[in-house]
């Protein structure tokens, strides 16, 4: 898969290759091995776990690794993205509702907590959970019980809770936007995931992994691999979007490269090398050979969205204000562009 004598595939015994129900965990770095050692130590317990780290570092697959190795693996792993639903719907999403509880509630509906009974409830982006719901989540953790919206029943539950965030919850507690008692209840075990730039020895391993996956999905048989220059460009990049960004880059290159070898010019412009001061993904002057206008605009838009999210520590409300758009529009754009 590599040209110019760069070996892309290390020997298998060097790798951490952990298949999970939500994708594979791949790498060979000591930091990744330390994470997986912790996963194995805590998996059999029922303690709450708080997974921290930047967006795109592999939180969901790490949660799956914990669940798959636990005594609850024969039950369901249920995910709730606390930042993706409007506040008005979040309580019903978590706890369910009775028929007639609100306009449109024509039937009784089971919530995510009930769906996770006996298994694991994964609360992603826990830092975006509204304060009103934080109190109800605290009750769920302390008493192992909850009440569906519009119901007067108290329902007992048996679930394990794993939460994840790309924010520093201790800072949110200090600002008064996250309950201190809930923070300590969730943070029985904190598992910090390293950013990809902190495990550079895993970049080539992940390129190999995503290349093989992308090749199988693309249906192409005319791509032989990456040349040395393209690999060096990826090794020099700091990967603010972490593993998810790398996966997107490889998928795009496999689909769009003319082949037979993927070269530096076949990967996104922001990976191709340093730019002069004041430059951006939008060319200041139309090149003689022309451009793909739609692609350039798409990359420019993606760059601005990512900058806004990183500047606000992925607070979508604040990022939307910086970009002059509604939060729901931003959320839809992030999903469409797979920014994270």
Sketch the domain layout of the chain as residue ranges: 30-193, 197-337
For residue 118, pLDDT beyond 70: yes
pTM: 0.76
For residue 283, pLDDT beyond 60: no
**DSSP H/E element including 228:** helix 228-236
pLDDT for res 54: 92
197-337: which CATH topology? Helicase, Ruva Protein; domain 3 (1.10.8)
90 close to 132: Cβ distance less than 8 angstroms: no
Query: CA 118, 41, 192 angle in degrees (round to 5)?
Result: 95
**DSSP H/E element including 129:** none
- Report the mean per-residue pLDDT for the chain: 85
CA-to-CA distance for 247 and 324, rounded, in angstroms? Answer: 29
* Three-state DSSP state, 58: coil
Task: Give the range with max mean pLDDT: 75-79, 102-106, 166-170, 288-292.
Answer: 75-79
Task: Kindly indicate the confidence band of residue 188, based on its pLDDT and cuts at 50, 70 and 90.
Answer: very high
Of 7-21, 55-69, 131-145, 249-263, give the lowest mean pLDDT range: 7-21
Maximal CA-CA distance, the chain:
71
In this predicted model, which residue has the larger pLDDT, 18 or 98? 18
pLDDT for res 78: 96
pLDDT for res 307: 83
186 close to 161: Cβ distance less than 8 angstroms: yes
pLDDT for res 326: 80
Share of the chain above pLDDT 70, in %: 89
User: Considering only the top CATH level, what class is 30-193?
Assistant: alpha beta
State the CB neighbour count (10 A cutoff) for residue 162: 29
Assign residue 149 a region (left: φ > 0; alpha: ψ between -120 and 50; beta: otherwise): beta
CA-to-CA distance for 291 and 40, rounded, in angstroms? Answer: 50
For residue 13, pLDDT beyond 50: no
Q: Which of 8, 69, 12 is nearest to 36 (CA)?
A: 69
For residue 297, pLDDT beyond 80: no
For residue 153, pLDDT beyond 80: yes
């Amino acid at each position: 898969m590599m040209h110019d004598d760069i070996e892309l595939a290390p020997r298998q015994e060097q790798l951490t290759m952990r298949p999970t129900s939500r994708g594979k965990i791949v790498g060979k770095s000591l930091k990744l091995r330390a994470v997986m050692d912790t996963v194995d130590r805590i998996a059999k317990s029922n303690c709450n776990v708080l997974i921290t780290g930047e967006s795109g570092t592999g939180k969901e697959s790490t949660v799956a690794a914990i669940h798959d190795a636990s005594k609850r693996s024969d039950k369901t792993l249920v995910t709730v993205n606390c930042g993706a639903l409007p506040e008005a719907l979040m309580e019903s999403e978590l706890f369910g509702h009775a028929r007639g509880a609100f306009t449109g509630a024509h039937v009784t509906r089971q919530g995510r907590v009930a769906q996770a009974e006996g298994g694991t409830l994964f609360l992603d982006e826990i830092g975006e959970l509204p304060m009103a719901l934080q109190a109800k989540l605290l009750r769920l953790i302390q008493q192992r019980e909850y009440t569906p919206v519009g119901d007067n029943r108290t329902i007992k539950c048996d679930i394990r809770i794993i939460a994840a965030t790309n924010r520093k919850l201790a800072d949110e507690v200090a600002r008064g936007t996250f309950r201190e008692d809930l923070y300590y209840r969730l943070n029985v075990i904190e598992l910090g995931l390293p950013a990809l730039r902190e495990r550079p020895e895993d970049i080539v391993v992940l390129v190999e992994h995503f290349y093989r996956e992308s090749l199988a999905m693309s249906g192409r048989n005319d791509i032989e691999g990456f040349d040395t220059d393209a690999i060096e460009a990826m090794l020099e990049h700091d990967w603010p979007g972490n593993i998810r960004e790398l996966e997107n880059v490889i998928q795009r290159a496999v689909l769009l490269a003319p082949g037979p070898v993927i070269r530096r010019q076949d990967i996104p412009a922001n990976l191709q090398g340093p730019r002069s001061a004041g430059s951006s993904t939008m060319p200041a002057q139309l090149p003689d050979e022309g451009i793909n206008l739609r692609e350039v605009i798409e990359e420019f838009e993606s760059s601005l969205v990512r900058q806004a999210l990183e500047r606000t520590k992925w607070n979508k409300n604040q990022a939307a204000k910086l970009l002059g758009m509604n939060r729901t529009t931003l959320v839809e754009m992030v999903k469409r562009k797979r920014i994270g």
